[in-house]
Amino acid sequence: MLPAIKTKSFLPIFGCFPFLISCGKTSTTGDSVNETVDQNDAALKFLIEDMTLAHEAKPKGVPYADWVDGPRIGYGNSPPDGWTAMMPWGQVYVDETGFQAGNVRFQIRNLQTWYLSKSQGKWLPWRNSSDIDGANYTEDFQDDVNLPADIRIETANGGGISSTLIPGHNFHFWSAEGRVGINPDDIDAVWSAVDARLILENPDGVDERDSARLMMSVGADYWLDLSAPWDQWTTNGDIFIGRFRYMTSEWQRFHAHTLTEEQIEKGLLPPFRVE
């Protein structure tokens, strides 16, 4: 679960990437290949920006927190001594305007967390599923108060789930498959992602998605073990919290990661492109 309003100090995230435009390109020509190159560059751009830029807007109702203005790394690649589990999660907020358009739901799928293995030198999955659960928590997460969410399984609409916000609440979600065991000594980088878009509550109703002010951020937690109960963040803490971006009617992938500039330059990249 999200470590919410607790504040900590962490090393700053890496800076700009002057090599971004050329990273991942090929020398092959042709319209279809050029389009693929453009898509790959755009995907890499989002991967980087989701841990380097400020949020597109501030989430409503968060009075103080070290993640209210922009993304940041928490425990990163180094879980506390003796901690042996993790779980991905995400959060949906309305922005500070508080405006919630009618006839709009947000759809979520492909919640995943991967790690770069020191021993194998490649990315391995910890969790990768559209089996997602969640609840409407008070916007400031005070005392972990939450209400059941209006979750709908979207079997015929692209997969995953969809849900809505209750005024004064966010939507905090996580892998319904629960925690997964980890080897804390084998972590060279961590990446989390989720795909999201806005859909209509009533397909025959007014389309208000262009005026919606709903934002998505993704993250993940380390846990003491597979079964430890939540205890005021003494048994869990976040790996990172990614940038808030607005959701639209198109599928987007939202990221959080611990990749360094050197790792990205070397091409040590997770499966970050939207499928």
In this prediction, residues 205-220 reach a mean pLDDT of 97
Q: Is residue 23 part of a domain?
A: no
End-to-end alpha carbon distance in the chain: 27
Give residue 213's domain range. 31-265
Q: How far is CA 55 from CA 6, 46, 49, 215, 263, in A?
A: 19, 12, 10, 9, 24
246 Cβ neighbours under 8 A, 6+ residues apart: 56, 57, 95, 212, 213, 214, 215
> How many structural domains compose the chain?
1
Instruction: Give yes or no for residue 15 having a pLDDT over 50.
Output: no
Do residues 251 and 160 touch, judged by C-beta distance below 8 A? no
Q: What is the pTM of this model?
A: 0.87
Q: Is residue 185 part of a domain?
A: yes
Give φ, ψ of 125 to 5 degrees: -80, 140
The pLDDT tens digits of the residues spanning 31-82 come to 443 443 355 688 999 999 999 999 999 999 998 889 999 999 999 999 999 9
Q: What is the pLDDT of residue 36?
A: 38
In whole angstroms, what is the distance from residue 181 CA to residue 190 CA? 14
Q: Which residues of 264-275 are buried (b: 16+ CB within 10 A; e: fewer)?
A: beeebbbebbee
The secondary structure of 213-272 as a DSSP string is: -EEEEEEEEEESSSSPPP-TTSSEEEEEEPPPEE--SS-EEEEEE---HHHHHTT---S-
**Which strand (E) or helix (H) includes residue 37?**
helix 31-49
Instruction: Give yes or no for residue 163 having a pLDDT over 70.
Output: yes
Q: What is the pLDDT of residue 275?
A: 65
Percent of the chain with pLDDT over 70: 85
Q: Among candidates 216, 108, 105, which has minimal Cα distance to 161?
A: 108
Q: What is the pLDDT of residue 39?
A: 53
The pLDDT tens digits of the residues spanning 169-192 come to 999 999 999 999 999 999 999 999
Q: What is the pLDDT of residue 110?
A: 97
Q: Among candidates 254, 242, 89, 101, which has minimal Cα distance to 164?
A: 101
Percent of the chain with pLDDT over 90: 79
Angle CA 268–52–13, to nearest 5: 75
Q: What is the pLDDT of residue 183?
A: 98
Q: Is residue 270 part of a domain?
A: no
Q: Is residue 243 part of a domain?
A: yes
Q: Is residue 1 part of a domain?
A: no
Q: What is the pLDDT of residue 247?
A: 98
In this prediction, residues 124-148 reach a mean pLDDT of 95
Q: Among candidates 12, 42, 23, which has minimal Cα distance to 264?
A: 23
Q: Is residue 90 part of a domain?
A: yes
Q: Is residue 273 part of a domain?
A: no
The residue to which tokens 């208000």 are assigned = 208
Q: Is residue 234 part of a domain?
A: yes
Instruction: Give yes or no for residue 25 having a pLDDT over 60.
Output: no
The pLDDT tens digits of the residues spanning 106-131 come to 999 999 999 999 999 999 999 999 99
